[in-house]
Amino acid sequence: MRAAVLEARLEAMRLDRDLSAGETQLAERAEDRLKHAALAATRVQPTRSVRNWWRGAHVDAAYQNLHAAEILMTSLYDDVHAEAEVPEAIARVEARLDRDDPRRAAAFALQSEAQSPEQRRAQLAKAVQVGFEAADSEYKRLRSFRNAVLGSAAILGVTLIAVVAYAWNNPEALPICFSEAQEVCASGLGDPSKADVGIVASLGALGGLLSAIISIRNMQGTSVAYDVPTALAALKLPVGALTAVGGLLLVAAHFIPGLSNLDNQQQILAYAFLFGVAQQLFVGFVDKQAQELLSHAPGKAATASRPERGTFPGAPTPR
């Protein structure tokens, strides 16, 4: 959508005025970047592959080409269009850069009327470039975080499958059983069985799923292409299963103060589900990190929310 708008604006520039040789070259390069952005958005180029999906090649290529086109087009704007772009360029730089960054203060200098049109347009182009480069860095950080979460979920999932498979073949090695007057196990039998660890892991995963649903419900949404909430939900399932198995083993070993032997199968299953929900105590910091990244992530339109402005040279005084 944004690429189509920029293409229409670029065509209007060509029709409204005669471009110089240098401006014509910039317009051609901008048009080429817009075509590449469209190809990347439709996953035509780069080619579809698991590696490109994991690296975010299509998303990165679409954003970077789109941003490059906008940077090139900034030098083609007349005074009226350049003036209209100033507020968005300032807001983007303001939201992405640190308060003491001199480039942030330089962007606010665009509000000064003491500049010549040529100087103002050159400084605007630089502010647009700085803002988009900072936005691209946010995309990369968000993708790296998502990949780390998915990688951790995959490793934990494989570990969980290995534990369940080992317990299936060696039920006596990981007994989920408790004994008071009579021994009782997770499967309801009086002796360790193949299904004990699998049942506990399944209930723990359900507890992790419940925790994931609650976390997603409370998480701020974003329009970026990286589905971080789903990646977090994928992590909570194996973590919940492993905490359920580990928690019950600790209870059976009298390792947790205040928790005694469990009397019946219903208590064992209830504790398994509870331990699955309790995995939030371990991965809650991951949710906080995700929320922080999502709150700073720019949207697909490459615009940014405007936080409260700080006090530094060039910034207007808040009213």
State residue 224's pLDDT score. Answer: 57
Q: Between 293 and 69, name the one with better pLDDT.
A: 69
- Among 50-54, 230-234, 241-245, 299-303, the range scoring the smallest mean pLDDT is 299-303
State mean pLDDT over 47-62.
73
Q: Between 153 and 252, name the one with better pLDDT.
A: 153
State residue 308's pLDDT score. Answer: 43
Interatomic CA distance for residues 18 and 26, integer angstroms: 13
Q: Are 37 and 69 in contact (CB under 8 A)?
A: yes
pTM: 0.70
State residue 113's pLDDT score. Answer: 64
**HSE-up of 80 (CA within 13 Å, CB side)?**
1
State residue 309's pLDDT score. Answer: 43
pLDDT-derived band at 302 (thresholds 50, 70, 90) equals very low
State residue 79's pLDDT score. Answer: 82
Q: What are 264-300's pLDDT values in tens digits?
A: 888 889 999 999 999 988 888 888 888 777 776 665 4
State residue 199's pLDDT score. Answer: 93
Cβ contacts of 73-76, under 8 Å, gap ≥ 24: 73/6, 73/9, 73/10, 73/13, 73/26, 73/27, 73/30, 74/121, 74/124, 74/125, 74/128, 75/23, 75/26, 75/121, 75/122, 75/125, 76/10, 76/13, 76/19, 76/23, 76/26, 76/27, 76/30
Whether 55 has a pLDDT exceeding 80, the answer reads no
> Which residues are CB-neighbours of 206 under 8 A, at least 6 positions away?
240, 273, 276
- Among 50-54, 214-218, 269-273, the range scoring the smallest mean pLDDT is 50-54
